[in-house]
């Protein structure tokens, strides 16, 4: 049986026709309606645009997948999730900043202890000052009260009454200040204990990293 022979031009025209035919082949779309029914069509109807679809080639293989449009609730949930990720990343960066600052601020745990003692000394000085102030106020209160005895049968001078009221009002303020400073002292102790614990962790991690590099 004789084989048909084609000229180069005829072969080129034939190949071009086949390519054009393949390119012009209609695509198939697979989509699901609101009732959950699967549809196949060569054109995507308007009602299916926002429902998502799968574009198939002529062999029935997936060519492109389009996700359905998000509802308002889904968009809100996605935005909330992204915001949580951003907050987590900011917290992570801030933690790195704190760790770097800790390592650059102290050369040893003894430096941390020294800083704690300095801060406690400042708080203690405030407490001592408030206590001395209370002693002086109570002494002045007793003096003013003795002076008031001379005016039992006649009105006391306004200056005397005003100063006595001021002294009486100031004493509890100083007691409140001492309570506040005691809380500050506890915060200082806890803060520097946390600093020391974290400093120890970071130094240990640095040592492990250096050892791992050395072993490579």
**pLDDT tens digits for 110-131?**
999 999 999 999 999 999 999 9
* Confidence label for 12 from pLDDT (cuts 50, 70 and 90): very low
Contact 199, 110 (CB under 8 A): no
* Confidence label for 60 from pLDDT (cuts 50, 70 and 90): low
CA-nearest of 188, 137, 192, 131 to 166 is 137
Q: What global pTM score does this model have?
A: 0.59
**CA angle in degrees (0–180, nearest 5) for 91-92-97:** 95
Q: Could you tell me the two tokens for 60?
A: 């029935």
**CA angle in degrees (0–180, nearest 5) for 158-162-164:** 120
* Residues making up the chain, counted from first to last: 216
Which residues, 6+ apart, have CB-to-CB distance to 50 below 8 Å? 68, 69
Beta bridge partners of 55: 29, 64
Distance CA 178, CA 172 (A): 10
Reply yes or no on whether the pLDDT at 10 is more than 50: no
Top-confidence residue, 8 or 34: 34
CB count, 10 Å around CB of 30? 18
Where are the domains positioned within the chain? Answer: 30-69, 71-105, 107-215
Tell me the CA distances in angstroms from 198 to 45, 90, 103, 195, 202, one per residue in order.
62, 20, 10, 5, 6
Q: What is the pLDDT of residue 16?
A: 44
Distance CA 157, CA 57 (A): 104
Helix extents (H) in the chain: 8-23, 72-105, 109-148, 158-215
Contact 136, 174 (CB under 8 A): no
- 26: which DSSP letter? P
Reply yes or no on whether the pLDDT at 36 is more than 90: no
Top-confidence residue, 6 or 35: 35
Top-confidence residue, 210 or 6: 210
SS3 101: helix
* Confidence label for 72 from pLDDT (cuts 50, 70 and 90): confident
Contact 175, 134 (CB under 8 A): yes
Q: What is the pLDDT of residue 1?
A: 44
Q: What is the pLDDT of residue 4?
A: 45
Residue showing tokens 């708080």: 123
Reply yes or no on whether the pLDDT at 11 is more than 80: no
Q: How many CA atoms lie within 13 A of 131 on its CB side?
A: 9
């Amino acid at each position: 049986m004789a084989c048909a022979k084609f000229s180069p031009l005829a072969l080129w025209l034939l190949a071009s026709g086949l390519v054009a035919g393949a390119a012009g082949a209609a695509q198939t779309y697979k989509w699901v309606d609101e009732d959950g029914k699967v549809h196949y069509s060569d054109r995507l109807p308007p009602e299916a645009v926002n429902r998502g679809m799968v574009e198939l080639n002529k062999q029935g293989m997936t060519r492109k997948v389009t996700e359905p449009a998000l509802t308002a609730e889904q968009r809100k949930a996605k935005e909330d999730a992204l915001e949580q990720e951003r907050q987590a990343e900011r917290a992570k960066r801030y933690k790195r900043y704190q760790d770097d600052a800790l390592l650059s601020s102290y050369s040893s745990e003894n430096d941390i202890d020294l800083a704690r003692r300095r801060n406690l000394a400042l708080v203690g000085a405030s407490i001592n000052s408030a206590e001395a102030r209370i002693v002086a106020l109570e002494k002045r209160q007793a003096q003013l009260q003795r002076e008031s005895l001379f005016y039992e049968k006649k009105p006391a001078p306004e200056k005397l009454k005003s100063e006595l009221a001021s002294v009486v009002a100031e004493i509890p303020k100083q007691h409140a200040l001492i309570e506040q400073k005691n809380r500050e002292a506890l915060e200082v102790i806890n803060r520097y204990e946390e600093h020391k614990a974290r400093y120890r962790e970071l130094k240990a991690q640095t040592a492990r990293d250096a050892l791992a590099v050395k072993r490579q």
